[in-house]
Each structure stands twice: as structure tokens, then as C-alpha cells.
Amino acid sequence: MIDIAGVLAANFLYVILITLGGVLVSGSVHFVPVGGAPAAMAQATGIGTGTVQLAAGAGLTGLVTAGAMLNLTDSMALILAAGMVGAMIMIGVTMIIGNLVYVYGVGVPPASAKVDYDPITKDRQDIYVSQGTEGHGIPTVSFVSGIIGGGLGGIGGALVYYSLMSIANGMASADFVGLAAIFAVGIFFVNAVIPSYNIGGTIEGFHDPKFKKWPKAVVTSLIVTFMCAIVSVITIGGL
């Protein structure tokens, strides 16, 4: 039988880091401007897809780049940075192409309906919102918010993966990579769904009033990820 207390005591730092990673993912989703189904019809500001899916797409891209980096170097900072950049590139490219479609394909200017002036560019927003909609496209403030969200999510995912890969164990390396990666994916999905319930599926970015609800999701994620972290550390450390 596994020495559960011993494994946990030896790897308690990683339990904390995994929990932190999960909380980062959960917080990051609040930054990502997603408009859900209405945004796909240019009826709401943000990216025209679901929160979970977009966060997962960005975070998992970060996981791929972090996984590649972990193969090449031992530096924790570099691995986290690789995860961050990978996720930021994915979400940045998605938003810019999405905006190209809004501007050239649909013919609407990017505009936020939640604020009258863009907090970053100070541009007037409300008169650029077409009648009967809640804004459309991705204005600069949402774009920057999305980049921040992608970055935090990438760091979070990479932190979970890095922590799992740092636990001492007796597995062959291919087995270990597979196990750590699927744990990271599982923990990532749990933490991507929790905040999307918190914001009700749509948010414009950090200027949106809904953004203030983030502590609720973060507390929930803290508890849930802590449980997942203990479970995964025992699993890996005991092998």
C-alpha cells in the first residue's frame, strides 16, 4: 500500500502549485471576451464561441508548447513562459481573424455595449453599437483582456503540468508524460467550466461588470483543484 502521508509530505509544494495553477486557469477565463452564441451572430461583443471551448483551446495550445519546452530545458520560468506565449498566440490569432470577419465579412465596427468609452483607447463605444444588439466584434480593451486571459490560462496549465512532472516517482518517462498530461488536461477542463458557470457563459473582458464575480469562481476552483491536486500527487508519487 502507498505511504499516502509520506508522499503528500514530500510533495506538498507541488500540491500548492497545482492548486495555484488551477486557480490561475479559473481566473483567466474571466478575462477572455466570449460572447457565446449571440456573438456568432454579431449580437454581442466578444469571440463568437463558448467560454469553456475557447479557454480549453488556448490553454491546451499552451500545454503543447509547455510540453515541448519541458523536453528541452529544466527552467521552470521558461516552461511557464512557453505555456503563456503559446496560449497568447492562439487567442491573439483567433481574435484578430475573428475581428477581420466582423469587419470585412459582416461589416460592423468592433464596439462594446458595456462601457461608453473604451478604457484603453478612450474611443466612444455606444454610438457604434448597432440597433438591437449588445455590441459586436472585439474592441481594443476586450482584445487586451483576452490576451491577458490567454496568458494566465497558459501559465496555469503549464504550472499544473510542470508540477506534476516534478514529482519523484518510479515510472518510465513515456508513461509519466502521458499520465501527467492527461491529469493536466482533466484539471484544466474542470477549472475552465467552473468560471463559465460563474459568468453565465458570456463576458466582455475585465471592464465588464460581471468580471467582479471572479472571487466566487476562484474560491470554488481553489477547493476543487486542491482535492484534484492531492489525488493526483498521491497517484504519481505512489508509483
Which residues 16-75 are close enough to bind other proteins by CB under 8 A? 36-43, 47-54, 56-58, 60-61, 63-65, 67-73, 75
Reported in sequence order, the residue ranges of the chain that DSSP labels E, i.e. its strands, are: 111-112, 135-136
- Tell me if 148 contacts other proteins by CB under 8 A: no
Q: Please report, as residue ranges, which positions from 189 to 228 form the binding site for other proteins (by CB under 8 A).
A: 189-190, 192-194, 196-198, 200-201, 216-217, 219-220, 223-224, 227-228
Strand partners, 136: 111
- Tell me if 6 contacts other proteins by CB under 8 A: no
Chain centroid to CA 67? 16
Q: Please report, as residue ranges, which positions from 161 to 180 form the binding site for other proteins (by CB under 8 A).
A: 171-172, 174-175, 177-179
One of 15, 90, 152, 167 touching other proteins (CB under 8 A): 90
Binding segment toward other proteins, per CB under 8 A, in 9-17, 138-146, 204-212: 138-146
* Residue count (the chain): 239
Smallest gap from Cβ 138 to other proteins, in A, equals: 7
Chain centroid to CA 165? 20
